[in-house]
């Protein structure tokens, strides 16, 4: 029977100064120890340095304690040493819990941390990814069932008015290589067909058809054809005017530029119209576009579409097509949307994100965001605001 591994957790706290880490490991080098984990945080000049060490044979605890205590006294720090035993891997795989709020309050953190503890899991590490305009912290959690923890934390987050995401630990998120987004009310703050309807003088009629579709009285295809039919006779030059007035969602440029700098490909899929969003995508450096095409004859909209309709199934198929062209497996894709038309692609992607979405979409997605900043998606991928600033143009 093998001897259980003995672990030592050494924690140094106090005012930060140069050389603390190197001097601590110089002291530890005199003992047969292996480094299992290390974390160092400095907040306003205050240092917290934690080192987890392992040893297969009983260590010289007296000697280690004396050496570390003497070093701490010399550096003006406080030292704490605790011992344990057993294989840390037995706690189960790590999970990343990402918590976002604007603001992020102590009661929210209390609620999330309390649910984690109540489920028998442990928070091994906490770090900050962003603090303005959204505060985001990330926790490494061990010993939890992912599905149960996701469900439990979702309830706590809803009660506290914050967003929470639970994802598999390790390098999984860093392997993501393609992001595909819906356009209306996701990439942009507008609904393109409503803008066109306003120019055509049929805004109220289009709104009635949209409301009927929302009540389930019309399917997506029928409602889209009816709304497009109301645009018949509109001068095609209006498409350029509408495109020029589109309002990007806050953080959209940062998200796209940052991910491009990190080697991501990007795509948009839309029930809107390629004549409007195609040039927008080109200006943003987006690699792939799939959208409906308005039929135009003699400089006027005919009220019909050309080619296949970009519906719910077509959006998911576009995601698969973009992934295949990029040489990226679906497990390394991110899909972002807000409506029922996005459900299939959200389900197909490696990470499905509901962005300011309807309740049914939030429930179906891997995670949801209710903050009005699209670049908050970066934090779900473990990319901090500092990383984004370094990767951007």
| DSSP H or E segment with residue 214 | helix 203-214
Residue 169's alpha-carbon distances to 3, 42, 88, 97, in angstroms, are 29, 24, 15, 9
184 is a catalytic site residue: yes
37 is a catalytic site residue: no
Q: Sheet holding 300-306: strands in order across?
A: 300-306, 288-297, 265-273, 178-181, 333-337, 351-355, 367-369
Reference 179, options 377, 386, 357; nearest CA is: 377
- State how far the Cα of 23 lies from the Cα of 46, in Å rounded to an integer: 18
Tell me which residue has tokens 């409007």: 276
- State how far the Cα of 256 lies from the Cα of 220, in Å rounded to an integer: 29
Half-sphere exposure of 196 (CA within 13 A, CB side): 28
Q: Which of 16, 124, 152, 184 is catalytic?
A: 184
40 phi and psi angles, rounded to 5 deg: -135, 130
| Dihedral sign of CA atoms 69, 74, 75, 77 in order | positive
Q: Which of 16, 152, 163, 182 is catalytic?
A: 182
**Which residues are annotated as catalytic?**
182, 184
């Amino acid at each position: 029977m093998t001897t259980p591994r003995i672990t030592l957790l050494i924690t140094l706290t106090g005012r930060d100064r140069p050389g603390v880490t190197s001097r601590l490991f110089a002291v530890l080098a005199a003992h047969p120890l292996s480094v299992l984990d290390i974390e160092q945080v400095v907040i306003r000049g205050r240092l917290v340095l934690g080192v987890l060490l392992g040893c297969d044979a009983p260590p010289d605890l007296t000697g280690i304690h004396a050496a570390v205590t003497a070093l701490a006294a010399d550096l003006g720090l406080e030292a704490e040493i605790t011992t344990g035993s057993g294989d840390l891997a037995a706690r189960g795989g790590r999970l990343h819990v990402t918590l976002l709020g604007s603001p992020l309050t102590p009661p929210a953190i209390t609620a999330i941390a309390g649910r984690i503890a109540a489920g028998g899991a442990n928070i091994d590490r906490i770090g900050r990814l962003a603090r303005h305009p959204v505060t985001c912290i990330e926790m490494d959690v061990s010993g939890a069932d992912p599905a149960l923890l996701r469900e439990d934390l979702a309830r706590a987050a809803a009660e506290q008015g914050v967003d929470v995401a639970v994802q598999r630990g390790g390098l999984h998120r860093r392997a993501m290589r393609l992001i595909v987004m819906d356009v209306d009310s996701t990439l942009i703050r507008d609904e393109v067909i409503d803008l066109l309807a306003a120019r055509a003088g049929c805004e109220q009629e289009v709104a009635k058809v949209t409301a009927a579709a929302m009540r389930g009285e019309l399917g997506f295809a029928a409602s889209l054809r009816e709304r497009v039919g109301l645009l018949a006779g509109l001068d095609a030059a209006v498409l350029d005017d509408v495109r020029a007035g589109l309002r990007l969602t806050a953080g959209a440029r940062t998200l796209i530029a940052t991910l491009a700098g990190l080697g991501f490909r990007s795509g948009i899929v839309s029930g809107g119209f390629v004549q409007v969003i195609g040039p927008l995508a080109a200006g943003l450096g987006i690699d792939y576009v799939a959208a409906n095409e308005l039929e135009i004859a003699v400089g006027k909209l005919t009220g019909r579409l050309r080619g296949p309709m970009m519906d719910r199934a077509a959006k998911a198929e576009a995601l698969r097509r973009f992934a295949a062209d990029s040489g990226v497996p679906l497990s390394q894709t991110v899909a972002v949307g807000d409506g029922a038309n996005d459900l299939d692609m959200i389900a197909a992607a490696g990470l499905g994100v509901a962005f300011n979405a309807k309740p049914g979409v939030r429930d179906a997605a891997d995670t949801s965001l209710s903050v009005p900043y699209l670049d908050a998606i970066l934090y779900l991928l473990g990319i901090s605001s500092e990383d984004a600033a370094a990767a951007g143009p």
